[in-house]
Chains A and B, each alone.
Chain A
Amino acid sequence: MSAASDRRPTLAVWKFASCDGCQLSLLDCEEELLAVAGAVHIAQFTEMSRAAVEGPYDLSLVEGSITTYEDAARIQEVRRASHRLVTIGACATAGGIQGLRNFASAGEYIATVYARPDYISTLATSTPIAAHVPVDFELHGCPIDRHQLLEVILAQLAGRSPRIPSHSVCQECKARDTVCLLVSRRAPCLGPVTRAGCGALCPAVDRGCFGCFGPAETANTASLAGRLLEDGARRVDVSRLFRTFNAGAPAFREESLANEPRPTR
C-alpha cells in the first residue's frame, strides 16, 4: 500500500534520554502488535523499523526526558509534526532516574563519568517533555504497563479519553487481597501515595512499593513520611525512597527534599 492511498492513522514513537523499556512495552504487546500494525500505520519507530516516513503523525508516543540542547530542539519538531502527543513513562513524565542530576550540579556528574568533560555537551537538568511542549496525555510508570498503553493508543485514535485509574496502589492491594505491608510488617511502602496501574506487583512479592508509577493524584506524602518515621525509618532513607525514578514529580521531589539530612554546621 502506498503512503498516499493508506488511510490508516499514523503512529510515531520517539526516544529521548531513556532505557527503551517503555517502548519495549509496545513491542511486548506481541499479538496485539501485529494487529495494531494493521490498524495503524507505524510510520516512525526506530526501535523496530528501518523505514521512516515524514510527518505529520496522527499520534506520537514519546519516551525519555530532555537532557541535551539538541533534544530540546528536537522535541519542538516532534510536537509540530504530531497531531496528538502522548508521553510514556517516568523519564518522559518526570525526568526519570537521570533526573537525579537536578539535585546535584551537572559538572559534578560529568566529571565522575568522563575524563574529558569538554567532549560532552549536556544540559544541567533532565526535564519532562511537558516542561517543553504541550502534551495531550501522560502515561506513568517505570516502565509503563502495556495494557494501559494499548488502552491509551486505542482511546487517542478513537478520540475518547483513556480509561486509566487515578487512585493509588493501596487500592489495588485491597482489590487483590494482598496483606498490607505497612500494617502487618511496618515495611516502608509508597503504595498509599503511588498511582495505580501495575496491579500492586511489589506488595504481592512482600516488597514495599517504591513508587515507580509516580505520585497518585491526591497523594498525601507528608502524612505517609510521618508514618514511616514513626515506624522507625531513618529520615535519609525516607528521602531516598521518594528520590528515584519519579524524583522530578513535584509531590515526590518536595517530600524527598523535606527529609533530606541537613548538613551539620
Chain B
Amino acid sequence: MSTEIKDLVVPSLQAHTGQGLGTGNPADAFVVEPARARTKKTPRRTRTNFEMLAWLFMRLSGVVLVVLVLGHLLINLMLDGGVSKISFAFVAGRWASPFWQMWDLLMLWLAMLHGSNGMRTVINDYAEKDATRMWLKGLLAVATIFTVVLGTLVIFTFDPNI
C-alpha cells in the first residue's frame, strides 16, 4: 500500500485532474480527466442543446417506461399462468386490440431510444480511442434502427391468419 494522504486540499480547478497533487501516489495516474477540459479543437460554443435534451429524455422516458414495462411484465410474465400461456394465439389475442398495439409500439420506441442513448453514454465513458468509439456508436445506431423498424413492422403487419 502506498502512502496515506491526510487532509489534502485540492483547489476546485483541479478537483478532478489529480494533477499537481504531488502526493507520489501512483494511483494519481488513474485519476480521470476533467469532463470539460478544453482543447484547441473544442468549439467555443456548441450549436444545440443535444446533451441536455438527451439527459431530459432519459428521465421523462424512464418515468413512462415504469408503467409500460412493469405492466408488460405483470400481464405477460406473471398473471394468468405466467409464461405458460404465451403462444402465437395469445399474441394474436392481444394485438387484436389497438390499445395494446399502441402500448407495445410506444414501449418499443421509448425503451429502444432510452436504452440506446444509455449505451451511448457507456461507450463514451469506456472507449477511449476515437476510432473505437466511432465504430461502436455506428454499430449501436445500426442495431437500434434495425430493431425499431423491425419491431414496428411486426406490430403493424401482424396477421393472425398467417
Q: Do A and B bind? A: no
Q: Which residues on B are within 8 Å of A, measured CB to CB?
A: none
